[in-house]
Structure 1
């Protein structure tokens, strides 16, 4: 992925990792379009970053995504990078009755959202000389946090989907990159996460990610150092993986 001169769409670009990526890539000389459901958050972000634009979209709604795709093709015909960052993360107690509403929302946003948006935008991306699709998964795609089972399952699914998408597009003009963040200081799970000392500071995560994108232009996965213990946990064998799973979940439950 080249680092300047792109027209980049970032879903969930009004806050957290999405906003951090949007601002960093904006400063490098890219045209940035952010999307999301919260107009106030989008407006605040573009007000702080002159030249950035925002377009509202409900990533849970298939019809909204189709309309959005048509709008992108008409208004931003040079769009060549899509960063699938929008996501929601909710804890679930699987022993409670009627617990599927949060699961269904996470599946719609985190899994179906990127799939539907790709379907809507692939014809436009195929027209560009070079294009990039970046999926944002998580270290939890590789070792689940048991209190957020559906979130972790959606991220594992997007990891698998990214591999298949990359293979199907291998002879095309489109590069597929997976960005797998560790636990980062954002408000994904509430305000407390933004100041949790166990989480990686957002500015540090963005800086390391941008440096990796600059130095590894052909990478298929972007992995900051903090996420590697999760990403490669299974490489150590089942016994060590099981022990790591227990210790990781024990530490994160407090």
Structure 2
């Protein structure tokens, strides 16, 4: 098949427009209650992410008087080491740029590390956005939990594809493309469905082979828990810019 136009340009892995999209969704649940946080490890299988208050140690921001947490959560997502050569999935493909200060990897586990509340806030300030410090208490754990759900979806796609031979799939890089609709999202929008509020492009290492994925983030239904839950639907699939990506999508369509 021809190269898929879903392929993005290089971008910061936690894009600042992406942050703003997440903030808007988090603020929608805060009108009736104080800022809240999701306990790390909360299950997302139902698509609903429940929020509960949680206090954390904090320090003064250099940009604000509101206290923000500087601790960082280690993800469950293994990081492909930059020193390991990885074959490109498609000719002319460009991996999204990684910001080591905002991501990086855990020395013990080798997994990706999520940015702290302080890092989210400071980065947005540097880019002349207008974040509200209290929002960080909600948006950071929500962002982390949904990314964990996205990784679970990718592992389901990768199951039985050969990565077990080298310890499982690993994430090479990722980027946020909040304003770039994928062809599927654009088509669904023309049919009258709501567009996704965010998009991510992830590149996964499968024992030396790169597989590129696209993730559309949709707001889920309220489910009668207004003010207590924030629901998401994730549409995760391989891109159609490689033979392997096309093969996986066809097999999925036929239930194989």
Judge same fold: TM > 0.5, yes or no.
no
- Higher RCO (CA 8 Å, separation ≥ 6 residues): 2
TM-score by length of 1: 0.30
- If each structure's helix is expressed as a fraction of its own residues, which one has the higher value? 1
User: Per residue, is there more strand in 1 or in 2?
Assistant: 2
